[in-house]
Amino acid sequence: MFQKLGLGVAAGAVLMASIVSANAQTAMKFALDWKFEGTSAPYFVALDKGYYKAEGLDVTIDSGPGSVAGIARVAAGTYPIGFFDINSLARFRDQNPDKDVKSVMMVYDRPAFAIVSTAKSNINTPKDLEGKVLGAPAADGAFAQWKIFVKENKIDDSKVKIENVGFPVREPMLADGKVDAITGFAYSSYFNMLSRGLAEKDIKVMLMSDHGIVLYGNALMVNPDFAKANPKAVAGFVRATIKGIADSYKDPEAAIKSVMKRNETADEKVELARLKMSLKDNFVTPWVKENGIGDIDTKRMSDAIDQIAITYEFKNAKPKPADLFTTDYLPPLDQRKF
């Protein structure tokens, strides 16, 4: 009898502890920049392996409207944390000086901004764009860097015809030869071209970061009120995300399964290839291997801000790196090196 009573009390204590633990979870809605694709695998890995939960977080991951538009959602508090373009954050803060949104972890050490062409266009260097037709959606994040690309590579842009094309027809127009090249995100445009039936050898990707662009890419950025009230939650999210990236880097074949569970209509082979491309070109660059993921080089960020000023006229004083990025929520270096 006493033994049974003791077991009952113990079971009740475990149940109460689990209820308290569940109640202690901090709810966090996380906004991606785009759809559930290969590049989003690290976050779903962190979710599926319980890394967020272990940090006391109840994370919900939503798709996003693009690497620029979502910043306003974080600023408004609709999402406490999101994954968006840090260059666009510089412009957003200049236009909204009362919104103290900051990046807390650099995810894409190199951006995916690219010029994509076909072999028959014979574009091998930036200068080869002279005399060509470049298809570029006006709102494209890669095209936003065109003036920097022109300046750094001494392109005579009067010799390049810019054709404003819609996102849905950008790759089809290139595949059909209606434009000679397009601007886009490498890991999107490349695979869109493959889906049009082009062979790998016929698709040429010129990363802008290989040709003078020192800009960073997408980063985790947080709502300032949420960060102030929940600093441990923000640090925990960063820590768990780093684990998700590390696991994805070590075993992308396993990581892509976490995406496919949530996007069953996607092509697993394509999404795996997309993940591998982004891990190599954006997430885990040589600098990241040497210095760990998540941080920035302050001198490079200063230079990047100078480049942003080529494409955007700041109404207020140019921001400093500390206005856009803080290391307050990053774990120690030994937890950030792969």
Which residue has tokens 């396993």? 254
Question: CB under 8 Å to 203, separation ≥6 — which residues?
Answer: 116, 118, 119, 190, 193, 194
**Please, how many CA atoms are within 13 Å of residue 133, restricted to the half-sphere of its CB?**
11
Task: Give pLDDT, residue 68.
Answer: 76
Report the distance separating Cα 172 and Cα 184, nearest Å: 13
- pLDDT at position 23 is 52
pLDDT value of residue 61: 98
State both tokens at 208.
């802008």
**Among positive and negative, which fits the CA dihedral 58, 64, 67, 69?**
negative
> Mean pLDDT for each consecutive 10-residue tract of the chain (338 residues)?
42 41 79 96 98 98 85 96 96 97 98 97 98 94 96 98 96 97 97 95 98 98 98 98 98 98 96 98 98 98 98 97 98 95
* DSSP string of 56-108, one letter each residue: TEEEEEE--S-TTTTHHHHHHTSSSEEEEEHHHHHHHHHH-TT---EEEEE--
Model pTM? 0.90
> Please, what's the largest Cα pairwise distance for the chain?
92
Structure tokens at 225: 């009120």
Phi, psi angle pair for 277, to nearest 5°: -65, -45
Q: How far apart are CA 105 and CA 248, in angstroms?
A: 17
Length of the chain as a residue count: 338
